[in-house]
């Protein structure tokens, strides 16, 4: 039966990896794989276990209890992401991200490279690397007309957005997973991973800044292309939205409540100001009450809720519960022990995980690592996993959500990225990894 379970998981995983070739949205195999795995567990009456982190052993449990446990942990992540996505869409409703264009006041390509790199690093830590990439590539398309030059800028934006998301508990789905699962604390994650992430940004950007493509001036008139936000409330909603997201880790630290509670409070605050500024009222019953249809149509909250990435939410639901099935069967725990025996050096294992995240999605990789290792909260292993999984995906254009969206927006060729950008991403990844190991050994 173990062989059948593994085959189903690998088949589903392969379908997710070959999403673009099969032309099937990755949420479909993820949901199917999840449902089939749990059905096999139920119908075959397989034994399920819960990992005792303190004793580092498996304890038998009931399928209803373990499934409810994993659903609860998964729901915490999904509700958190729903809140964050909605806040970002509300900011976009007021064209708040156009405010960022005001920071661009130079025509020097080298200076623009550093401006975009710094913005990618900072923005991705707040609104996640995917959204930061979308925002910056959109601005890039308005600033630089030459497509070949834009491709280079987009490639560096991907690297720096992933580096920025790795050190923040709200900057990447994988770091959010580790934070919500209480594998890392927000403060220690920033303390341990920020400096390595900075090196992961500086090294490739410094190397690239010497390239011929980043010399000279851009051929455009910034005054014509750079416009402010369409709404007068754009800047206010941008700063309010970003501030409310940053507030969430502090809320968790003060109250010790799960992060999604703080995110819901932040969403409520942002939504309140959005309704005031738009003079529109949002009614939950508007979906079935035609009398409220007109007001609901103009509500920023309603509009934001219709634009959030529900396919991504369903994908996370499927993949996380599928990995949870393997964890509940004890497979991941046993594989971790075998892996530790085969490769005693954990640093190598984690770095291989980072390289692997460039080939396959880093969400299931991190989910699997959470089931494989039972180290306590804030153990350096978790911080290294956060860094490796977050930055390793930059080595291939399909290795991260930021890369995939940049690929779609700028039609970046896979092999062009592999030849021109991949080695820069590898240099940044290795530089950050070395810095992390040195800092860890020094601090210990």
What pLDDT, in 10s, does the model give residues 295-353?
445 688 888 888 887 888 898 899 889 888 988 888 877 777 777 777 777 888 889 88
Please check whether residue 40 lies inside any domain of the structure. no
**For residues 157-168, average pLDDT:** 94
Supply the pLDDT for residue 398. Answer: 76
* pLDDT tens, position by position, 269-282: 999 999 888 874 44
Evaluate whether residue 26 is within a structural domain. no
Does residue 285 register a pLDDT over 50?
no
Please give the tally of structural domains in the chain.
Answer: 1
Average pLDDT, the chain: 85
CA distance 444 to 433: 16
Is the model's pLDDT at 141 over the cut of 70?
yes
Predicted confidence at residue 291, as pLDDT, reads 44
Task: Say what the pLDDT of residue 100 is.
Answer: 81
Question: Which domain covers residue 191, as residue numbers?
Answer: 47-443
Q: Percent of the chain beyond pLDDT 90? A: 38
Q: Which residue has the tokens 């594989």?
A: 335
Please report whether residue 23 resides in a domain: no
Q: What is the mean pLDDT of residues 133-152?
A: 88
81 vs 78: CA distance, rounded Å: 5
Rounded Cα gap, residues 371 and 332, in angstroms: 6
| Residue 268: per-residue pLDDT | 95
233 falls within a domain: yes
Q: Which of 129, 126, 135 is nearest to 248 (CA)?
A: 126
Q: Is residue 280 part of a domain?
A: yes
| pLDDT tens digits along 351-399 | 988 888 887 767 778 888 887 787 888 999 999 999 999 999 899 887 8
Is residue 297 one of the residues assigned to a domain? yes
Q: Which pLDDT band holds residue 142 (cuts at 50, 70, 90)?
A: confident
pLDDT surpassing 70 at residue 226: no
Residue 198 belongs to a domain: yes
Q: Which two tokens stand for residue 94?
A: 């007021």
Of the chain, the percentage scoring pLDDT greater than 70 comes to 91
pLDDT confidence of residue 293: 45
**pTM confidence score:** 0.80
Establish if 3 belongs to a structural domain: no
């Amino acid at each position: 039966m173990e062989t059948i379970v593994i085959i189903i998981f690998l088949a589903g995983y392969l379908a997710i990896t070959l999403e673009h070739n099969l032309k099937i949205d990755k949420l479909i195999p993820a949901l199917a794989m999840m449902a089939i795995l749990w059905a096999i567990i139920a119908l075959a009456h397989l034994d399920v276990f819960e990992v005792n982190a303190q004793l580092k052993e498996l304890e038998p449990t009931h399928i209803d209890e373990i499934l409810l446990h994993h659903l609860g942990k998964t729901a915490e992540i999904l509700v958190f992401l729903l809140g964050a996505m909605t806040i970002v869409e509300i900011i976009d409703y007021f064209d708040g991200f156009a405010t960022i264009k005001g920071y661009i006041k130079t025509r020097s390509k080298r200076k623009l490279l550093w401006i975009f790199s710094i913005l990618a690093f900072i923005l991705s830590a707040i609104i996640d690397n995917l959204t930061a990439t979308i925002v910056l590539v959109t601005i890039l398309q308005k600033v630089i007309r030459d497509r070949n030059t834009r491709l280079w800028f987009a490639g560096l934006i991907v690297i720096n957005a992933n580096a920025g998301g790795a050190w923040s508990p709200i900057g990447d789905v994988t770091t959010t997973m580790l934070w919500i699962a209480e594998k890392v604390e927000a403060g220690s994650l920033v303390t341990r991973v920020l400096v390595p992430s900075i090196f992961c940004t500086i090294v490739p950007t410094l190397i690239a800044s010497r390239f011929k493509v980043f010399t000279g001036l851009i051929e455009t008139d910034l005054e014509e292309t750079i416009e402010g936000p369409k709404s007068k409330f754009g800047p206010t909603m941008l700063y309010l939205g970003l501030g409310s997201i940053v507030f969430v880790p502090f809320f968790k630290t003060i109250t010790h409540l799960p992060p999604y509670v703080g995110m819901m409070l932040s969403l409520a605050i942002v939504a309140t100001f959005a309704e005031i500024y738009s003079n529109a009222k949002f009614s939950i019953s508007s979906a079935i009450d035609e009398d409220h249809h007109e007001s609901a149509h103009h509500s920023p909250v309603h509009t934001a809720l219709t634009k959030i990435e529900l396919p991504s939410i369903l994908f996370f639901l499927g993949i996380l519960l599928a990995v949870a099935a393997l964890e509940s069967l004890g497979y991941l725990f046993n594989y971790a022990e075998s892996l530790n025996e085969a490769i005693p050096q954990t640093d190598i294992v984690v770095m291989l995980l980072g390289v692997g995240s460039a080939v396959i999605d880093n969400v299931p990789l991190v989910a699997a690592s959470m089931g494989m290792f039972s180290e306590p909260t804030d153990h350096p292993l978790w911080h290294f996993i956060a860094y490796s999984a977050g930055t390793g995906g930059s080595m291939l254009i399909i290795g991260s959500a930021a890369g995939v969206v940049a690929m779609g927006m700028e039609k970046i060729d896979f092999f062009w990225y592999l030849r021109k950008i991949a080695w820069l991403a590898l240099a940044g990844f290795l530089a950050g990894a070395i810095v992390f190991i040195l800092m860890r050994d020094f601090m210990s």
